Structure formats: structure tokens, C-alpha cells
Amino acid sequence: MLVLPTELTHATATACCRMLAQALRSDPAGHAVADASALRQFDSSALAVLLECRREALALGKTFSVAQLPPRLRELAGLYGVGELLPPAA
């Protein structure tokens, strides 16, 4: 499980991306789940981070989903037309 921080903004996105990519590469599981339940403060950079995680997961031959995406971020993903790229975890 990839756990997102409570704050994910432009200022923290690069470091968060690096941390999540490293976690993806070290986890042998075939499915990657990003847990967004802790997200409280975020901007569109959170979407960029999730999309990069998805790209990295697919490059590693893994499937990708997101658990507990905050409603505001789900709305933002829909507005940008990328909602279907961030499927909810089962």
C-alpha cells in the first residue's frame, strides 16, 4: 500500500513522487494501491503524483487503484478528464 501524506501540494509533490516510486519498485505485489485517506490539504499536484504512480506501476507490470480518494480530488480528476485513470480500490 502506497500511503499519501496529509499534505500534497506543489511544494511537496517531487519528494512524494520519489518516495512512492521507490516504494513501488521495492514491493513485489502485482497490484499497487495508493491510500489517499490521510490527504487533507492538496492541490492539482496530488493528481499529478497519482498519475505518475499509475504510470510507474504500469511500467512495472502492475495494476493500479486508489483507496479513499477525497471527494474534492475525485471532482478535480473528473474536471481534468483523468478520473477513469484513477480507479477506486475494491
pTM, 2 dp = 0.95
- Give residue 26's pLDDT: 95
Residue ranges and CATH numbers for the domains of the chain are 2-85 (3.30.750.24)
In total, the chain counts a number of residues equal to 90
Give, in degrees to the nearest 5, the angle at Cα 35 between 33 and 38: 175
Provide the residue-wise pLDDT of the chain in tens; the chain has 90 residues: 999 999 999 999 999 999 999 999 999 999 999 999 999 999 999 999 999 999 999 999 999 999 999 999 999 999 999 999 999 998
